[in-house]
Amino acid sequence: MVKVIASDVRKGNVLEQEDGKLYNVLKAETYRPGKGTPTATIEMRRISDGVKVVERYRTTDQVERAYLEEKDYNYLYEDEMGFNFMQPETFDQIPISKDILGEQAQWLQEGMTCLVSLFEGNPIAIELPQRVIFEIVEADPVVKGQTASSSYKPAVLSNGVRTTVPPHISVGTRIVVMTEDGSYSERAKD
């Protein structure tokens, strides 16, 4: 275990709390008021049973970060057990439950390389690439003369997720989407 200060904790980190259990960090925010002590609010999910917990620390408080083995795995397919991944060097396959992936599952694409965190050989967290490419399957028509406008219009991606895109993006266009929040980044360069 490694001690880190609370303000350095990020989404995807795994912490060990005083109860000896491991927690996956879902969200970490630092609040710096004009007066008073800055605080870090950390939203976590207990890995053993999935219970969500929100803890507040002073930014200088020490927390225990669990040592995890991190390996790249390629996404294969989804079945009733969850999502199946393969380690490219050893060809070992592991199922990762829907609870671990959560809302990130909507961004999975076949063959995608993800960073899987293992604790004692068991997958407990996964990190997807920051950016993925999807095709627009539904969008309002392009309005002539609005190419430089800062307004966005609703669109539906090929995976069924709704997002907003600039007015000049039309159906069939491939775009880069940020997996963190599903926002439009840029037009795909392929």
Which own/partner pairs from 8-12 qualify as long-range (CB within 8 Å, at least 24 positions apart)?
9/40, 9/42, 9/63, 9/65, 12/117, 12/125, 12/127
Q: Which pTM value belongs to this model?
A: 0.69
Residue 137: the pLDDT is 92
pLDDT at 175: 92
Nearest-angstrom CA–CA distance, 40 and 61: 9
DSSP 100: H
pLDDT in tens, the chain (190 residues): 678 888 888 887 888 888 888 888 888 899 988 888 899 999 988 887 878 999 999 988 989 888 788 899 999 999 888 899 999 999 999 998 887 887 888 889 999 999 988 887 888 888 889 899 999 999 887 766 655 556 888 899 998 889 998 888 888 999 999 888 888 888 888 7
Query: For residue 83, what pLDDT is reported?
Result: 92
Residue 87 pLDDT: 93
**In sequence order, which ranges of the chain are alpha helices (DSSP H)?**
98-101
Instruction: With beta carbons less than 8 A apart as the criterion, state whether 68 and 120 touch.
Output: no
pLDDT given at position 152: 85
